[in-house]
Amino acid sequence: MRFVFIPAILSVLLAATAAAQQSAAADVVKVTLDENLRTTVNGVQVQHYPNLRGLFLGMPKPYYPPDLRSRHITGSGTFTMYIDASGKVTDVKIRKSTGHRELDIQAIDALRHWRTRPGSHREIDMPITFTVRARQSFH
């Protein structure tokens, strides 16, 4: 009988944790990254970039064109998303370029398709990194 209660308690705890994360993320109205990558959430400096998965309903990854990958074109940038009360991204601006126009275009295109839960108007700086993993060869 004890084993019957453990899964039930675990599922309740997991649901409560997910609900808490979703609620905390829903309170986020503005996330700002400065030039030194210091993060501010709703005007308060925090140690780490917040987990916003509970806020976003859809987060498609940017397309990384194979020709850019094969040429090892990489970069990291920060993009500001402007989100309306319905959860639609209405605009995306480059805050810090990846250093490559092609990568910036792919990041902006992907971020325009992100969706959040309805709520307040939001302004979120989102870091995006394009990397190529080195292949290991064993001889």
Given this model, what pLDDT does residue 14 score? Answer: 40
> DSSP E strands: which ranges in the chain?
30-33, 39-41, 44-46, 56-58, 75-83, 89-96, 115-116, 122-130
Average pLDDT over residues 119-132: 94
**pTM greater than the 0.85 cutoff:** no
The top-level CATH class assigned to 2-130 is alpha beta
Q: Tell whether the model's pLDDT for residue 70 goes beyond 90.
A: yes
Domain boundaries, the chain: 2-130
Given this model, what pLDDT does residue 9 score? Answer: 42
CB of 127 closer than 8 Å to CB of 48: no
Task: Phi first, then psi: give them for residue 109, nearest 5 degrees.
Answer: -60, -45
Given this model, what pLDDT does residue 86 score? Answer: 96
CB of 123 closer than 8 Å to CB of 42: no
Q: Tell whether the model's pLDDT for residue 40 goes beyond 80.
A: yes
Tens of pLDDT, residue by residue over 73-116, are: 999 999 999 999 999 999 999 999 999 999 999 999 999 999 99
